[in-house]
Chain A
Amino acid sequence: MTGLLLAEFADAKQLVAATQRVRGRCRLIDAYTPYPVEDVVELLEHRRSYIRVAMLIGGFAMAALTYGAEYYSAVIDYPYNSGGRPFDAWPTFMLFPFATGILVAAVAGFTTFLAECGLPRLHDPLFAVAGFERASQDRFVLALERPDADDDRRQMIGALRGAGAVAIREVEP
């Protein structure tokens, strides 16, 4: 892998403009921002997220499991007549699958979220880059692959400067 160029911007608009400008001219790695900037997400290529699919499957699986447990215990394993009510009293059985289904959907979503983000990963080489700590506070950082040729690199740095970058750092691989 070649090195990275980290261009720091003071606001989201400049980040978006710079991303648009350099897109297609080099490989964009990622953008690091203190809050979600939707326009940048759209400009960077991303894999599809399966969080909602996982939540749907997890939720329904848990609901089916808990309803099955209720059905097994109240109809098959230990049926007894409680005031003439049906053994499979489904309206009163619904709350347990509903509540636990939502809980497991949330847990499934959270786990998928961690997997898709590659978290937890307590250390990342980027944390060692001076100034990167401001990406979680007040700076918008665009990371792109550093062009190998000197001319291309200079041109790219010039383009980022022109787009309003307040600092540009080269990171060795």
Chain B
Amino acid sequence: MTAVTLRNDATAAEATRWTLPGTRDFEIVNAMIAAPLLDRGAWRWRAWWIGFVISLALTLAFLFAVFLVFERGIGIWGVNTSSVWGFAIADYVWWIGIGNAGTLISAMLLLMRQKWRAATNRFAEAMTLFAATVAGIFPIIHLGRPLYFYWLTPYPNTMALWPQWRSALIWDFWAILSYILFSILFWYVGLIPDFATMRDRAATKVPRLIYGALALGWRGAARHWHAYEILHLALACLGVPLVVSLHSVVGMDFAASLMPGWQETIFPPYFVVGAMYSGFAMVVCLAALVRWGFRMDGLITLSHFDVMAKVMLAAAIVMGLSYATEWFNAWYGGERADRSLVAFEFTGAYAPMFWALLLCNVVIPQAFWSAAVRSSIVAVFVIAVAINVGMWFERILIVWNTLSHDYMPGMWRLFIPTIWDWITTLGSLGLFALMYLVFVRLVPVVSMHEVRKLVAEEAAS
């Protein structure tokens, strides 16, 4: 393994700033990315094993909690007749938001010809895949009778019934299903040339066979690349509207209802921005971990963190404006229940979480105006974690506040999570981490062919 530890030149204002000079060689790039996976002797996976054991334990706890939901029903959660959606839907919205950003970053930056996507797209797309998978579990377990979730599909049945196409639940089902399958395909297409590189670098038989099969016989021929570029670009063009529609649908799950605080036309775009925001924050966290874990200082540079911090800053401002728009509309619309809900948000039982949300999502990210903060990986990482926590509070409170403060004061009941709510939520983090750790152990975590191209361009200029 070639450890490249070079001084980061944060002030490098030239165009060639997405890799460090010492990395601008094909073999260094290949070795940096492939060696941890192929050269078992040279690479210790101690931190990986620690993470693996912890996430496996959390995953088992999660599976047990999900089993209990199937076995005993959702009565084990803190939900009640008013707050019918507790953690499950909030967690779903949070995870699917994170699951949006990978494809968004990858596809949108490809269409905008942003070179810095080269080092980040692979692990961002993997994040999408696993976050969307975790997200997909929650709508199923929230159903009450989760074992009948397949009723959402149109299939010939003895009751001669069809799904209710006007229902937001059906939209969710198809949006998530299509999105996950699409993301797998988009991710795999980008991986084929890298699997070929892994096949050609593998010194032993088993990895060569596995990577060789996954590479489908890719030879890097000019006509292969020509077809690859056409397909990849076309998929990116389709991916962006799919991402936007997916989270708009999540927003419409709420907006299509008749509840105060939910029935707002701002919800679909507001959810899309929120998704991009939390997803970018998660990508920043993963970028820092990948950079540290694989010693990729030369490929994931301070400039990457700088530019992602700027995106988060822009998203923070849009989020702040969205919150303010909601409050303004509640006041300006004059509806008693809406006004009462906003008052409840600021002063009610969940107010401390609400203030924490505003702090994490709107106030703290303003630190990104400072170039010094943006050029400190620790600072960017800490703020990104805060944003993720803040976005989780936001998802939680969208569900809790409205449901516990409906039109009818006689129906006002709080949601208090039980131990099983917490185990499901924390366990889902473990499941995500487990899938992610398996991914970094088996698949090149950064796109080798795209970085090779970037490196060639930066070395030439």
Q: Which residues of A contact B (CB under 8 A)?
A: 11-13, 30-38, 40-41, 44, 46, 49, 51-52, 55, 59, 69-70, 73-74, 77-78, 82, 85, 89, 92-93, 95-96, 98-100, 102-103, 105-107, 109-110, 113-114, 116-117, 119-124, 126-127, 133-138
Q: Which of B227-264 contact A (CB under 8 A)?
A: 227-231, 234-235, 238, 241-242, 245-246, 249
Residues of chain A contacted by B19 (CB below 8 angstroms):
none
Considering only CB atoms, which chain B residue lies closest to A11 in the complex? Answer: B456
Residues of chain B contacted by A55 (CB below 8 angstroms):
234, 238
* Stretch in B281-289, B330-338, B370-378, B446-454 with 4+ CB within 8 Å of A: B446-454
Residue pair A41, B26 in contact (C-beta under 8 Å):
no
Residue pair A99, B175 in contact (C-beta under 8 Å):
yes
Residue pair A41, B225 in contact (C-beta under 8 Å):
yes
When the two chains form the complex, which single residue of B162, B217, B229, B235 contacts A121, counting CB atoms closer than 8 Å? B217
- Quick one: given A35-B456, A78-B162, A99-B175, are A136 and B218 in contact (CB under 8 Å)? yes
Residue pair A137, B201 in contact (C-beta under 8 Å):
yes
Whole-angstrom distance between the alpha carbons of A82 and B181 in the complex?
32
Residues of chain B contacted by A46 (CB below 8 angstroms):
222-223, 226
Residues of chain A contacted by B246 (CB below 8 angstroms):
99
Whole-angstrom distance between the alpha carbons of A121 and B219 in the complex?
10
Residue pair B231, A44 in contact (C-beta under 8 Å):
no
When the two chains form the complex, which single residue of A34, A109, A114 contacts B220, counting CB atoms closer than 8 Å? A34
Considering only CB atoms, which chain B residue lies closest to A47 in the complex? Answer: B223
When the two chains form the complex, which single residue of B30, B216, B245 contacts A98, counting CB atoms closer than 8 Å? B245
Considering only CB atoms, which chain A residue lies closest to B218 in the complex? Answer: A119
Residue pair A78, B161 in contact (C-beta under 8 Å):
yes
Residue pair B231, A51 in contact (C-beta under 8 Å):
yes
Number of interface residues of B (CB under 8 A): 61
Q: Which residues of B contact A (CB under 8 A)?
A: 26-27, 30, 154, 160-166, 170-171, 174-175, 177-179, 181-182, 185-186, 189, 193, 196-197, 199-201, 212-213, 216-231, 234-235, 238, 241-242, 245-246, 249, 449-450, 452-453, 456, 460
What are 20 residue pairs bridging A and B, where the CB atoms are less than 8 Å apart in the complex? A32-B220, A35-B452, A35-B453, A41-B223, A41-B225, A73-B163, A96-B171, A102-B238, A102-B242, A107-B185, A113-B227, A117-B228, A120-B217, A122-B216, A122-B217, A127-B219, A133-B201, A136-B199, A136-B218, A136-B219
When the two chains form the complex, which single residue of B175, B181, B230 contacts A51, counting CB atoms closer than 8 Å? B230
Residue pair B222, A30 in contact (C-beta under 8 Å):
yes
Residue pair B227, A49 in contact (C-beta under 8 Å):
yes
Residues of chain B contacted by A11 (CB below 8 angstroms):
456
Residues of chain B contacted by A113 (CB below 8 angstroms):
189, 227-228, 230-231
Residue pair A74, B225 in contact (C-beta under 8 Å):
no
Residue pair B216, A73 in contact (C-beta under 8 Å):
no
Residues of chain B contacted by A74 (CB below 8 angstroms):
162, 165
- Quick one: given A32-B219, A44-B223, A102-B241, are A85 and B166 in contact (CB under 8 Å)? yes
Whole-angstrom distance between the alpha carbons of A74 and B179 in the complex?
25
Residue pair B225, A36 in contact (C-beta under 8 Å):
yes
Considering only CB atoms, which chain A residue lies closest to B29 in the complex? Answer: A138
Interface contacts beyond A35-B225, A117-B227: sample of 11 additional A-B pairs, CB < 8 Å, sorted by A? A11-B456, A12-B456, A33-B225, A46-B226, A78-B162, A85-B166, A98-B245, A99-B174, A99-B242, A102-B178, A138-B26
Considering only CB atoms, which chain A residue lies closest to B193 in the complex? Answer: A136
Residues of chain B contacted by A78 (CB below 8 angstroms):
160-162
Residues of chain A contacted by B185 (CB below 8 angstroms):
106-107, 110
Residues of chain A contacted by B245 (CB below 8 angstroms):
95, 98-99
CB distance from B163 to the nearest CB of A (A): 8
Residues of chain B contacted by A123 (CB below 8 angstroms):
217
Among B165, B170, B230, B235: residue with most chain A CB under 10 A: B165
Whole-angstrom distance between the alpha carbons of A99 and B175 in the complex?
6
CB distance from A58 to the nearest CB of B (A): 11
Residue pair A89, B166 in contact (C-beta under 8 Å):
yes
Residue pair B171, A95 in contact (C-beta under 8 Å):
yes
Residue pair B234, A52 in contact (C-beta under 8 Å):
yes
Considering only CB atoms, which chain B residue lies closest to A95 in the complex? Answer: B171
When the two chains form the complex, which single residue of A44, A95, A96, A137 contacts B222, counting CB atoms closer than 8 Å? A44
Residue pair A110, B231 in contact (C-beta under 8 Å):
yes
When the two chains form the complex, which single residue of B162, B178, B196, B249 contacts A100, counting CB atoms closer than 8 Å? B178
CB distance from A96 to the nearest CB of B (A): 5
Whole-angstrom distance between the alpha carbons of A138 and B34 in the complex?
13
Residue pair A122, B212 in contact (C-beta under 8 Å):
yes
Whole-angstrom distance between the alpha carbons of A154 and B185 in the complex?
46
Considering only CB atoms, which chain B residue lies closest to A100 in the complex? Answer: B178
Whole-angstrom distance between the alpha carbons of A123 and B249 in the complex?
45
CB distance from B202 to the nearest CB of A (A): 10
Residues of chain B contacted by A40 (CB below 8 angstroms):
222
